Amino acid sequence: MELALISVVADTAAAFGVVGSLMLVGFQVRQNSAGLHQAAVQNQISAYQNMASNILDSKDMAEVWCQGLYHPDKLEEVALMRFYAYVSKMLRTFQGIHWQWRRGVLDDELFNSLGSFLEDMGSTPGWQHVWHAWRHQFDSEFQAFFDGVIEEHKGKELYPVAVAGDD
What are the boundaries of each domain within the chain?
39-163
SS3 assignment for the chain: CCHHHHHHHHHHHHHHHHHHHHHHHHHHHHHHHHHHHHHHHHHHHHHHHHHHHHHHCCHHHHHHHHHHHHCHHHCCHHHHHHHHHHHHHHHHHHHHHHHHHHCCCCCHHHHHHHHHHHHHHHCCHHHHHHHHHHHHHCCHHHHHHHHHHHHHCCCCCCCHHHHCCCC
Predicted local confidence at residue 62, as pLDDT = 86
The rounded mean pLDDT for the chain is 79
Q: Does 84 have pLDDT greater than 80?
A: yes
Query: Is the pTM value of this prediction over 0.75?
Result: no
Q: Does 30 have pLDDT greater than 90?
A: no
Q: Does 157 have pLDDT greater than 80?
A: no
Predicted local confidence at residue 161, as pLDDT = 47
How sure is the predictor about 78, in pLDDT bands with cuts at 50, 70 and 90? very high
Q: What is the pLDDT of residues 110-147, one digit of tens each?
A: 888 887 888 888 888 999 999 999 999 999 999 999 99
